[in-house]
Chains A and B, each alone.
Chain A
Amino acid sequence: MRRAVLIARAELALMFRSHVALIGVIALLLLSAIAAATSQAHMAQERFSRLANQTQTDALFEAQPARHPHRMVHYGSYVYRPIGPLAGFEPGIDPFSGTTLYLEGHRQNSATISAVRENSSLMRFGQLTPAFVLQTLAPLLLIFLGFSMITREHMRGSLRLLLTTGVTPRDLILGKSLALGLVGLIALAPAWLALLMMAIAEPSEAGAAALMALGYGLYVLIWVFGIVAASALAQSGQAALLSLIGIWCFIAIVAPRGAAELAGRLEPLETRAATDLMIQAELRQLGDSHNPDDPFFAAFKARTLAQYGVTKIEDLPFNFRGAVSAEGEALTSRLFDKYFVELATTQRTQSQIVSLVSIASPAIAVRRISMAGAGTDLETHLRFLQQSEAHRFAMVQYLNRLHRDKLSQADDAARSKDPLAEQRTRIAADNWAKVPDFAFKPTSAKERMLAAIAPILTLAFWLASVMVLAGWSARVLRARAL
C-alpha cells in the first residue's frame, strides 16, 4: 500500500503540473459547482412558482360568486405538481412530463406545461444539472486524465524501471486508481456538498440524499477502475483512448437512449390522441349525464325510484339531476381509471425493460438511483396523476352532492326559462371553500430508498466486475514491461 500511495502522489504531481489536466479538473469542478447552484436556484424558483400558482388557483376558486354548483364543475381547478427538496440535483422526468393538470367534470385532462415545451429549444438538449455533469461529463474527464496512466509507463520504459524497484503490477494499478479516484472525488465534491446542504435543509430527505451520494460514488469508482484497467490492457495510449471513448459513448449515450427505444418497441404506448379518441368513443356509449331523461340512465332512475318507494323523480327527497350527474361522473371516472391503469402498467413495464438494460450500462442504474432518490421518477409522476384524479373526482362529487341536496328539482328544471328559478339555483359562495385543497403526498423517503436498492446492487456488481478486470490486467503488465 505504501508503494501505491507513492505512485498515486507522483501521478497527481504529473496531473497538476500538466496544465491541460489541471484546467480539465478546474473546468469540471466549476461546471459541477455552477450546475449545482443554477439547478438548485432554478428548482427553487420553479417550486415557488408552482406553490404561488396553486395558492392563486385555490383562491380564485374560493372567490367565485354564488353559482349553480354544476357551473363550478365546469369552472374546474388546476393542480400543480410540487417539487421535492432533492429535485434540484436531479430533475429526472420533471422537465419532460407535464406538471400541471386542469381538473373539471366529465373529463380527465392530460398533464400540461413542461419545461421542455415552455422553454427555448436549448432546454431540449438537456438541462445543466449536477446529475448530468456527473453521469455524462465526469466520466469523460476521467477518461482524458486516465487513459494513458499505464500505457505511458510501458511505452516510455518506466514500467520496467518501476518493476525493478520492487513495485508490483498490483501496486501500480492500485496507485493509479487512487490518483484517478481522488480526481473523481474532487469532481464529486460540489455535488456531494449540494446533496448535504439539501439534506440539512430537509432532514427527512437525508437517507435518500445519502443513497444518491453512494450511487454516484460507486458510479465514479466504476469509471476509475475501468479506465485504469483499459490503460493497463491497451497496447498504446491511442488504443486505450479510442476504446474508452467508445465505451463512454455506449454507456452514457447509446444505452440509455437505446433502452428507451427498445422499451417503446417491446411495450408500445398509445399516443394521447389515440387514447382520447378511445375514451370519447366509450364516453358516448355512457349517455349524457346532463339530461336526466337520457335512456342510458333509465335503469338508474328506476333503481332510485324503487329505492325511495316513489313513482316519479319529483317525489324524490333530492334533486334527481344532481344524482344523475354524480352517477355519470362515477361511471366516467371508472372509465378514466381503466385507461390510467393501462397507461401506468405499460409505462411501468417500459421502465422495467430499461432497468434490465442497466445491466449493460451503469449510467442507467445511477440515473435510476438519482431519480428515485430525488422523487423525480415515473412512479412520482404516476402518483401525481393518480392523486390528481382522486382529487378531481372528490371535488366534482362534492359539487354534485351540493347540486343534488341543495337545489330544488323544480327550480333546477325551470332555471333556463325562469330567471327567478335560476337565481334560486345559485348556492352560497362559502360552499366553494369547503372543497378540500389538493395536497400531493409524494413517495416517502423510505419508499424511494427501497426503490434505489436494485440499481445500487447493479452498480455494486459493476464495480466488483471492473475491480476484477483491473486485478486481472495487473497480470499482463509484467509481460508489457519486456
Chain B
Amino acid sequence: MGGQGLDLRDLVVKRGNRNVLEGLSLTVPAGQIYALLGGNGAGKSTALFAALGLLPVTSGQALVDGKDPAHQPEAVRASIAYLPETVALYEHLSARENVDYFLSLAGQIRTKAQIEEAFAQVRLAPAVHDQRLSAFSKGMRQKTAIALALLRQTPVLLLDEPTTGLDPQATQDFHTLLLELKSTGVAILMVTHDLLGAIDVADTIGLMIDGKLASQWHARNSIPRFDLQGLYAAFTHARIGNTSA
C-alpha cells in the first residue's frame, strides 16, 4: 500500500489546565508497527485522538500520510482506520451489514467478493457473516472490526488496546493479521498494555510517561529482537511510578 506513514511532531495537547501530551514526537513509517506502551493516564489514547483529529492540538503537528488533521480533517479520515478498545460496531446489524454501513459512511464501496475475502483473511467463518453481532464473542467482533479496517485500505491504522479480552489463540491470530497488514505497507500505531504482544509484532516500542515519550526501542535483526530485560525494567518502573503517582 505504501504512503508516508504517521508522524507526530512535538505534540502538546491541553485538557483544562493540564498538559496531557507534552511534546510527544514519534514516527511510524509505512510498513512498520509501532507499539506505544505506558501506564494508565500516560497519554497514549490522547496521542491517537490527536492523530485522528478528535482533539485540538495546542502546539506541534500530527501528520497522517503527510496530511494534518487540523487542516485536512476529511483527507486524514480517508487515510486512517481506527480500531477502538471496545469493538463499537452495531449489535443489531450482521457482520456484513456493519462492514457495509461503516464503509458507506466512509464513502467507500466494496464488492461482496472483497468483503468475503476480508472476512476470510480474518478467519471469520462464512456461516456467521449474516448473523447479528449480538450473537458474537468478543474475538469474533474483533475480527469483524479488523475486517472493516482491512477493507478501508487506508495507509495508516490506529489500534487502541486491540487484544484486551482476547484469548491467547485469538491474540495470536490477531498478531498474524497485523504482520500481514504490515507487509502490505500499512503504518500501524498500536496503543497497548501487552508488552509481550508488542515484542512479538512491533518494529518500534515506545514508552510514554506523563505525556512524554520516555524511552524508545527499535527491533534488532537478531533473537531476541528487543532488549527484553531493559524493556521489562522500564515498563515495570513506569507502571509502578504511575500507580504511586
Residues of A within 8 A of B (CB): 2-3, 6-7, 10, 13-14, 17-18, 156-167, 478, 481-482
Contact = CB atoms under 8 A, between A and B. Distances in A.
B105 A6 contact: yes
Contact of A6 (B81, B86, B104): B104
Contacts of A160: 54, 82, 84, 88
B93 A10 contact: yes
Given A165-B77, A482-B54, A13 B105 contact: no
Contact of B90 (A10, A159, A165, A166): A10
Interface string B27-55: 00000000000000000000001001011
A166 B106 contact: yes
A482 B105 contact: no
A14 B134 CA distance: 12
Contacts of A162: 105
Given A3-B105, A165-B77, A481-B54, A157 B92 contact: no
A162 B106 CA distance: 9
Interface in B48-103: 49, 52, 54-55, 74, 77-78, 80-82, 84-86, 88-90, 92-93, 97, 101-102
Given A478-B54, A481-B54, A161 B84 contact: yes
Contacts of A17: 92
B107 interface: yes
B88 A156 contact: yes
B149 to A, nearest CB: 11
A98 to B, nearest CB: 54
A477 to B, nearest CB: 11
Contacts of A13: 92-93, 97
> How big is chain B's contact interface, by range?
20 to 34
B56 to A, nearest CB: 9
A164 B54 CA distance: 8
Contacts of A157: 84-86, 88
Contacts of B107: 2, 166
A135 to B, nearest CB: 31
Nearest to A175: B105
A166 B74 contact: yes
A166 B84 contact: no
14 contacts: A2-B107, A6-B104, A10-B93, A157-B84, A160-B82, A161-B88, A164-B80, A165-B77, A165-B105, A166-B78, A166-B107, A167-B105, A478-B54, A482-B54
A165 B154 CA distance: 11
A-B pairs with the 10 shortest C-beta distances? A157-B88, A158-B88, A165-B106, A166-B77, A164-B82, A165-B105, A161-B88, A14-B92, A17-B92, A157-B86
Contacts of A3: 105
B222 to A, nearest CB: 37
Which of A10, A17, A167: most chain B Cβ within 10 A?
A10
Which of A6, A156, A160: most chain B Cβ within 10 A?
A160
Given A164-B80, A481-B54, A10 B88 contact: no
Contacts of A161: 82, 84, 88-89, 102
A104 B78 CA distance: 84
Nearest to B78: A166
Nearest to A171: B105
A166 B88 contact: no
Which of B89, B105, B107: most chain A Cβ within 10 A?
B105
Contacts of A165: 77, 102, 105-106
Contact of B101 (A6, A164, A482): A6
A457 B85 CA distance: 49
Contacts of B49: 482
A126 B80 CA distance: 58
A2 B108 CA distance: 12
Interface string B98-130: 000110111100000000000000000000000
B197 to A, nearest CB: 21
B105 A166 contact: yes
Contacts of B77: 164-166
A161 B54 CA distance: 11
A164 B82 CA distance: 7
A13 B77 CA distance: 26
A435 B78 CA distance: 85
Nearest to A166: B77
Which of B78, B84, B90: most chain A Cβ within 10 A?
B90
Contacts of B97: 13
A478 B53 CA distance: 10
A51 B42 CA distance: 82
Nearest to A16: B92
Contacts of A158: 88-90
Which of A2, A17, A158, A167: most chain B Cβ within 10 A?
A158
A118 B158 CA distance: 72
Contacts of A10: 90, 93, 101
Nearest to A158: B88
Interface string B207-240: 0000000000000000000000000000000000
B54 A14 contact: no
A156 B98 CA distance: 15
A57 to B, nearest CB: 63
Contacts of B82: 160-161, 164
Given A7-B105, A166-B107, 13 more contacts: A6-B105, A14-B90, A156-B86, A157-B84, A159-B88, A161-B84, A165-B77, A165-B105, A165-B106, A166-B77, A166-B106, A167-B105, A478-B54
A241 B167 CA distance: 37
A6 B108 CA distance: 13
Contacts of B106: 165-166
A176 to B, nearest CB: 14
Contacts of A166: 74, 77-78, 105-107
Nearest to B55: A482
Contacts of B88: 156-161
A14 to B, nearest CB: 5
Interface string B123-141: 0000000000000000000
A251 B97 CA distance: 39
A478 B64 CA distance: 20
Nearest to B97: A13
A380 B27 CA distance: 78
A23 to B, nearest CB: 16
A14 B102 CA distance: 15
Nearest to B108: A165
B54 A163 contact: yes
Which of A157, A158, A164, A478: most chain B Cβ within 10 A?
A164
Contacts of B85: 157
